[in-house]
Chain A
Amino acid sequence: MHDFAEAFRLAFALAASGDADLIEIIALSLQVSLTALLASSVIGFGLGTLVAVARFPGRGAAIVAFNTLMGLPPVVVGLLVYLMLSRAGPLGVFGLLYTPAAMIIAQTILITPIIAALSRQIVEDLFLEYDELFRSMSVPTHQAMAAVLWDARFSLVTVALAGFGRAIAEVGAVMIVGGNIDHLTRVMTTAIALETSKGDLALALALGIVLLVISMTVNAMALSLRTTAARQAYA
């Protein structure tokens, strides 16, 4: 398959050319997925910690629900958000369909369960470990929660990265609610789908390589942040 070699050559050429369209698409991909990550982190870490620490009826059901929703198919999320945001839907008046805002909403819904479910497990394990200590020192709950979250921060960064990975890689949801509109809602994954449908497999694969490199950069930055923070913390 000469497509593979061609794809790598094209990926380098694309990256080197600094093509304005490509940069626009990459910037939008990052903007949408990072904003979605931020929103889901606030909601997901909050919910996750709450369910980890609090004891209430239906807690087991909540945990099962989070864990189940981790497997939400992106295309189903896209469909639900489309039906909500469509002019014919309940939130149609805001005119958000086919805008980056719609894509952020869809990705937020998609990755919040992942962040909530994983952080719930991490925080709960840590909380059980500290439980006796907290009780012996009569630490108030909110302080205990803050302490546990802080101690779990490195694991939670990995949770956030899992969410980011899911968001930046999905195509089903953003295709439906964004519409893959050139210069407006086209992101890396929808561009890859478009080039595949044009039969330009080498270019599609090249864009895929570029997307992987971007993901790798984000992950490397997170890791270096973590190493620096760890060095400072334990120095």
Chain B
Amino acid sequence: MKVKILATAAATVVVASALAFGTAMAEDKSIIVQSTTSTANSGLYDHLLPKFQEKTGITVNVVAVGTGQAIKNAKNCDGDVLLVHAKSAEEKFVSEGYGAARTDLMYNDFVIVGPPSDPAGIAGTSDAAAALKKIEGSKALFASRGDDSGTHKKEKSLWKAAGVDAGAGSGKWYRETGSGMGATLNAGTGMGAYVMTDRATWISFKNKGDYKIAVEGDTALFNQYGVIPVNKEKCPSVKAELGQKFIGWLLSAEGQSAIAAYKKDGQQLFFPNAPSV
């Protein structure tokens, strides 16, 4: 008897709480943005989203994962907007019909950070490919994302440009962490390895230790972010109108200047470059 009463009570609680969550979800105007870790970890969304929400009443829920996973999630229709940084993968996403259209949003750049001992002798240089060649040549440790993220794709293209098969050193001097930018930086600084990171994550990263930027300023290190509405034709559940509102605001003069205004330690993290409307 007691068991039955308990079971009934438990079932009631589960159903009631599920309903409570359900109605809470149905009530609010909200969209899901599949995004990269760099934009979230740097605090950009904490700066942008309250402004947008105040203006429109739309809640933006950000799922921050690597670009590869973000695209995969969006292909499964589990997001309304995709905001990532791997142009060719984004264009493929659009040409396959998953995305409606891709627009440049903002940029910053990648840097290679390293320990003060600078075992590869690349500190202060600006040629990324040459620096990678020296890292390989000196068998200095290099920590790679290894997770098919936008940063990882860029890093692989740089190894290719340097004519180095980094995969051959995997597990020896080339350490693929298979995790996010922050986790890779934690691992890299822990083992004294060079790490390629986007500048926004690096500036806001708090576990720098004695690490410094070794290589910066190469045009090959350019990091372009794009924004794409998920295609309603592929994904009928997509909140296309709300998603478009968010994208429209990001690309507007107001959104662009809000991006430019975001600073950390006096440094601007993202540079808006949406095509002027």
Q: Check A92 against B77 for contact (C-beta < 8 Å).
A: yes
Known: A38-B13, A200-B207, A201-B207. A101 touches B78 (CB 8 A): no
Bound-state CA distance A98–B24 (Å) is 13
Q: Check B180 against A92 for contact (C-beta < 8 Å).
A: no
- Say yes or no for B275: interface residue by CB 8 A criterion: no
Per-position 1/0 for A76-91, Cβ under 8 A of B: 0000000000111100
- Say yes or no for A138: interface residue by CB 8 A criterion: no
- Say yes or no for B108: interface residue by CB 8 A criterion: no
Bound-state CA distance A101–B186 (Å) is 32
Known: A184-B61, A198-B182. A101 touches B76 (CB 8 A): no
| Set A35, A95, A196: member contacting B186, Cβ < 8 A | A196
Q: Check B61 against A181 for contact (C-beta < 8 Å).
A: yes
Known: A35-B14, A100-B21, A149-B3. A197 touches B77 (CB 8 A): no
Bound-state CA distance A42–B25 (Å) is 26
B192-232 contacts to A (CB < 8 Å): 204-208
Q: Check B32 against A146 for contact (C-beta < 8 Å).
A: no
Q: Check A197 against B235 for contact (C-beta < 8 Å).
A: no
Please give, as numbers and ranges, the residues of chain B lying within 8 Å of A97 by CB-CB distance: 78
Please give, as numbers and ranges, the residues of chain B lying within 8 Å of A87 by CB-CB distance: 76-78, 235, 237
- Say yes or no for B22: interface residue by CB 8 A criterion: yes
Q: Check A38 against B14 for contact (C-beta < 8 Å).
A: yes
Nearest CB of chain A from residue B261's CB, rounded to whole Å: 20
- Say yes or no for A31: interface residue by CB 8 A criterion: yes
- Say yes or no for A219: interface residue by CB 8 A criterion: no
Please give, as numbers and ranges, the residues of chain A lying within 8 Å of B204 by CB-CB distance: 198
Bound-state CA distance A184–B28 (Å) is 12
- Say yes or no for B168: interface residue by CB 8 A criterion: no
Bound-state CA distance A201–B13 (Å) is 37
Interface of B is mostly: helix
Q: Check B63 against A35 for contact (C-beta < 8 Å).
A: no
- Say yes or no for B253: interface residue by CB 8 A criterion: no
Please give, as numbers and ranges, the residues of chain B lying within 8 Å of A86 by CB-CB distance: 73, 76-78
Nearest CB of chain B from residue A60's CB, rounded to whole Å: 25
Q: Which residue of B is nearest A202, CB measured? A: B206
User: Which among B4-12, B82-90, B99-107, B117-125 touches the partner chain?
Assistant: B4-12
Q: Which residue of B is nearest A153, CB measured? A: B2
| Set A46, A88, A184, A200: member contacting B76, Cβ < 8 A | A88
| Set B2, B32, B37: member contacting A197, Cβ < 8 A | B37
Per-position 1/0 for A57-95, Cβ under 8 A of B: 000000000000000000000000000001111001101
Please give, as numbers and ranges, the residues of chain A lying within 8 Å of B6 by CB-CB distance: 42
